[in-house]
Structure 1
Amino acid sequence: MDEEPSLSSELEETLEKHRIGGTTSGTVVLSDQEGYVGDTITIKGRNFPAGESVDVLWHSTAGDWGVLKGNEIVGPQYRPRTDHILTVATDESGSFDQEWTIPQDYGGAHKIEVQHDGETVDRAEFDITPWFELAEESVPLGETFTFKGYGLGPNVVTNNYQVSWDNSTFGFMTGVKNRGTATAEIRAVGPPGKHVLEVWRNYRGIPYLQNNTQSPYGEVCGDRPSRWTVEVTEPEGDLTGCWMDEQFDEQPLDLHYPDLDVESDASLEITPTSGQAGTQAFITGEDFPPNAEVDLIWYRHEGHRVKGIPITPEPHRDTLPTVQADADGSFQVEVEIPPEEGSTRPITAEVDGQEIAVTGFVVQPRIERFEPQSGPVGSSIEIELSGVGWTMYENGPFLVYDNKPLGYACGTSGDDKGGVIRLDIPAAGEPGYHFIDIYPTIYEMQEDEPNFEIFPHLSYLDNHPMRPLPAYHFSFEVTEE
């Protein structure tokens, strides 16, 4: 009788893994198939090899803003992400029950995969429902309270949530960054008493009012609330004044530097590298030609998008001094940062008509003027800001008055003071305190959906593109005639 044909070792190994009791046997199920960030579920494994270790993987998404040239906002960009979350030992019957808390992550379906010896055994699926959390429900007039969203995005439908105060929608929240978690600080505006905060969902950037009654995508937050009553209490003391959010140390973007005329060993540095108008800074040069006369040149980005004029770095020679290098080719000079255009301001060093070194300073926003701070209805409230940048993510700050949208301003002005915004706002409302907040926006985005353009970005604190931009805050008292 003929001998049975032999199997290759590779095929034998493959077949062995698929036999009952082989390394790829096993079943995984979840105690719950859907829920919220922060929920605890039980991952249940059965029919695995006894006394073995298995690995549990979580399949999700990594997200960020797509930005070209440090300026042009493409839109949200996502890619697959896999996290190893657990290593679990099976018992003598080949089983395990393991509790696990759903981490801060994007909404929608996530695969939970179990591997043994590097081979996938089984998968289950968990669906995260977005939800929002209100930190406080009683807040003194003029103060802010934290409003936080979890499980936002990446789906276009769940990537843009609109926030309303007393039925006035005044901004949006998105979780493009930080794995779907977004934070906003909401101003408690008056009069004192009960007010309604609500969050809506719509990829077009405006509330779809049938969210919770007839939406094919279900209610905004599943079975959790999307509407809250906030008690605004009487203020303590005088509230008039203005301030900005905290600003951080920043480094200039060399993408915004002009090209040099020639390459050289000369180097140029500035300390500090960021700050508001009025900051005292030191410019230091090294390895310049000995005893050379060096012209320091300040650059602004000039042009006009609406008029079709490309925005390019242009030299302004009367802003910074001319210095003399010493015998070693070194120099240091102290300068004051002018009230200028924000973002990266290139600084070049020119010797004998040729620019041979470059550095940059990040000009940050500043409130230059806010007056008066009280007056009757109709009073002109004059506000002047400096350091507003030219880029798509900082060029169009948006004003809200008592949490009602008013309009946007532009850092590309019609005069020779780019980055300086002058505003004249009429005082309105009943006698008492009223509040103007100016939030960052995305002026223009290449992708059409979801729509994030020219509307207050309330989650700018942890989700704005490129830079940690601050918001501006103003309190005005309307007085009797």
Structure 2
Amino acid sequence: MVLEEGISTDLRETLNQRGSDNESQSGDLVLGDTEGHVGDTVTIRGLQLPSNAELAVVWKTVVGNWGVIQANEIKGPQYQPKEVTLTDVKTDDSGTFEETIEIPEDYGSTHPIAIRNNGSTVANAEFEIFPHFELLNDNAELGEFFTVKGYGIGPNPARNNFQVSWDLGLVGIMTGVKNNGTATASVRAVGPPGKHDILVWRGYKGVPFLQSRTQSDFGPVGSETQNEWEVTVTEPETEPAAAWSDELIPEEPLSVHYPSIDRDTEATLTIAPNSGPPGTEAMISGKRFPENKSVNLVWHRHDGKRINGKTITPKPQPDKLPTVETDDDGTFEKEVEIPPDRGATRPIVAEVSGESVAVTGFIMQPKITEFSPTSGPQDTEIDIKISGTGWTLYENANFVVYDNKMLGYFCGNCDNGEDGIVHLNLPVSGGPGYHFIDIYPTLFETEKDGHGFECKPHLSYLDNHPIRPLPAHHFAFKITE
């Protein structure tokens, strides 16, 4: 999705670009509090307004998303103005009212509040939302997760990138570009069992600005609310799972990644399901093709190298899919097994007599194909293989975190000769017991990275990642001696 060009990442500037209500103001709006947090209740009082009038209390804000070109190139956060009616009020004979409102889930910034009479603004005020964070659980078994939730994040770059640390080791970042400035991050409960610390930091370059706790121009990280917690890791009742991925959800292929076809016809090509990992059993169906004719089904992968300046384009992969025969009605159905390949939209083209006449697509989702061994002594080398990692800039670089410490990233667009399978070889370290590897989505590259989002574990990927709901991958290794 690409939002409007030129929209500022500062909420007040964005709203000012669309004009102000100040010129039409005729009354007064007084707030019991002019700053606070999402969920606060605030008393508002209107004065010198039309008497016995039905008025609307309007909250002015923005809607945010990631600006992305061709479902691939990330421009960065973009915002557009919007208005929400919080409640309706009625003035008395003297033109006054008093009402209590709840501050909605929204971005951290200064939000205008307008009182409207039949569409005309008759009073204004402003309320500033400050970011704050909460820990949803302070106990977790070894290998499970703690959850940190943030509210009122962004859109200003200075308040749009918060970092999470575990025992003063950086785990990753969280941001609230989407979801009205709300973000959720999960942090693995790693050993040893006992007490540990989780902190939320602020730093617009994507790393903690250590003076944000003492000397920041933007005040305390959580606006004097708690941003540091002592948590307890307990012994697991059962052995942690060796390897698993977040649950995959159904997705629709992105036609922007389809190749052009040679000839437009009435033929249609579909596949069901149209998303899943390698090995998925799927049914390809065709309608309105020529009767009793051979149709060649051609799988496409995206090849090319950004680093070498070679454009990434869909290219045919022969012999991945079969040739089928249409019946007397020009239809066919063929069950196929989805081959291993790079992730994202995998175009499927139907060719008749050497010409492509129809196209569909399958969203290839990632899958762990190997994790071995799962236990051994210190310095054991483990192999991790993942199939279906995509080529697009929001999914082709995944970041490896070892025992909640950033290690490095891998690329899903390497020529490895293994049909899109990413192969990692890592030596394990640490004392005897369980150690944990988590692989998170990242934003590999953005057009303008004034927020420090690039190539860092994106802990709020489940509710704030661009374009698609990518999964993370999780592993547990037991050092025996």
Would the TM-score normalized by the shorter structure come out above 0.5? yes
Q: Which residue of 2 aligns with 1:331?
A: 332
Q: Paired residue for 2:192?
A: 191
Please name the residue that 2:446 is paired with: 445
**C-alpha distance in structure 2 between counterparts of 1:116 and 1:286, whole Å:** 57
Residue-by-residue CA offset, 1:184-208 (whole Å, 9 max, x unaligned) = 1211111111111111111111111
Of 408-417 and 130-139, the range deviating more from structure 2:
408-417
Identify the residue that residue 11 of structure 1 maps to in structure 2. none
Deviates more, 1:116-125 or 1:436-445: 116-125
Cα deviation code 1:94-116 (max 9, x no counterpart) = 22111111111000100011122
Give 1:339 deviation, angstroms: 1.6
Which amino acid is 1:466 matched to? I
Q: Offset at 1:235?
A: 1.4
Q: Which residue of 1 aligns with 2:391?
A: 390
Tell me whether 1:104 sits opposite 2:105 in the alignment.
yes
Classify the secondary structure of the residue corresponding to 1:179: helix
Q: Distance in 2 between matches of 1:310 and 1:167?
A: 41
2:353 maps to which residue?
A: 352
Mapped to 2, the partners of 1:105 and 1:435 lie a distance apart of 34
Residue identity matched to 2:327: D
The 3-state SS of whatever aligns with 1:409 is: strand
Other-structure match for 1:80 = 81
The match for 1:228 is 229
| Residue 417 of structure 1, CA deviation | 3.2
Deviation at 1:240, TM superposition (A): 4.3
Aligned to 2:122: 121
Following the alignment from structure 1 to structure 2, what is the Cα–Cα distance between the partners of residues 51 and 91?
A: 5
State the percentage of identical aligned residues. Answer: 54
State whether residues 341 and 417 of structure 1, in contact with CA within 8 Å, keep that contact through their aligned partners in structure 2.
no
Structure 2: which amino acid aligns with 1:70?
Answer: A
Q: In structure 1, what is the Cα distance between the partners aligned to 2:193 and 2:40?
A: 36
Contact 1:286/1:329 (8 A) holds in 2: yes
Deviation at 1:24, TM superposition (A): 6.8
Displacement after TM superposition at 1:25 (Å): 4.3
Q: Which residue of 2 aligns with 1:289?
A: 290
Matches of 1:52 and 1:211 in 2, distance apart?
47
Q: Unmatched 5+ residue regions in structure 1?
A: 1-22
Taking the aligned partners of 2:25 and 2:33, their CA distance within structure 1 comes to: 24
> What SS is found at the alignment partner of 1:444?
coil
In 2: Cα distance, 1:419 partner to 1:396 partner:
13
In 1, Cα distance between equivalents of 2:319 and 2:417: 14
**1:333 positional shift:** 0.7
Partner in structure 1 of residue 262 of structure 2: 261
- The residue number in structure 2 matching 1:132 is 133
Contact 2:201-2:212 at 8 Å conserved across structures: yes
8 Å CA contact 2:25–2:124 kept in 1: the answer is no
- How does 1:32-71 map onto structure 2 within 5 Å? 32-71=33-72
Paired position in structure 1 for 2:164: 163
Partner of 2:310: 309
Instruction: Report how far residue 156 of structure 1 moved.
Output: 0.9
Q: Write the deviation string for residues 277-335 of structure 1: whole angstroms up to 9, x where unpaired.
A: 11110111111111111110000000111122211100011100011111211111110
- Cα distance in 2 for residues equivalent to 1:40 and 1:117: 26
Cα 1:323–1:117 change in 2 (3 A) is closer
- The amino acid that maps onto 1:474 is F
Does the alignment pair 1:91 with 2:85?
no
Q: Normalising by structure 1, what TM-score?
A: 0.93
Q: Is the 8 A contact 2:340 2:419 kept in 1?
A: no
Change (3 A) 1:351 1:378: same
Superimposed CA distance per residue, residues 160-186 of structure 1 (whole angstroms, 9 cap, x where no aligned partner): 111111111121000000000001121
In 2, the alpha carbon distance for the partners of 1:148 and 1:396 equals 25
Q: Is the 8 A contact 1:412 1:418 kept in 2?
A: no
CA distance in 2, matches of 1:240, 1:85: 46
Whole-Å Cα distance in 2 between the matches of residues 416 and 310 of structure 1? 20
Does the residue aligned with 1:67 lie in a helix, a strand or coil?
strand
**TM-score, normalised with respect to structure 2:** 0.93
User: How far apart are the structure 1 equivalents of 2:205 and 2:80?
Assistant: 23
Give the aligned residue type for 1:314. Answer: K
CA distance in 2 between counterparts of 1:337 and 1:117 reads: 58
Distance 1:288 1:196, change over 3 A: same
Aligned: 1:477 with 2:478:
yes
Deviation of 1:398 (Å): 0.5
Whole-Å Cα distance in 2 between the matches of residues 305 and 47 of structure 1?
A: 62
From the CA coordinates, give the structure whose radius of gyration is larger. Answer: 1
1:240-286, Cα deviation, whole Å (9 max, x unpaired): 41111111111100100000011111111101111111111011111
The amino acid of 1:220's aligned partner reads: V
Equivalent residue of 2:209, what SS?
coil
Secondary structure at the counterpart of residue 281 of structure 1: strand
1:414 aligns with 2:420: no
* Other structure's SS at 2:211 match: coil
Question: How many aligned residue pairs are there?
Answer: 458
Structure 2 segments unaligned to the other structure (5+ residues): 1-23
Cα deviation for residue 91 of structure 1 reads: 2.3
CA distance in 1, matches of 2:25, 2:423: 69
Q: Please give the secondary structure, in 2, of the residue aligned with 1:309.
A: coil
Code of the aligned partner of 1:388: T
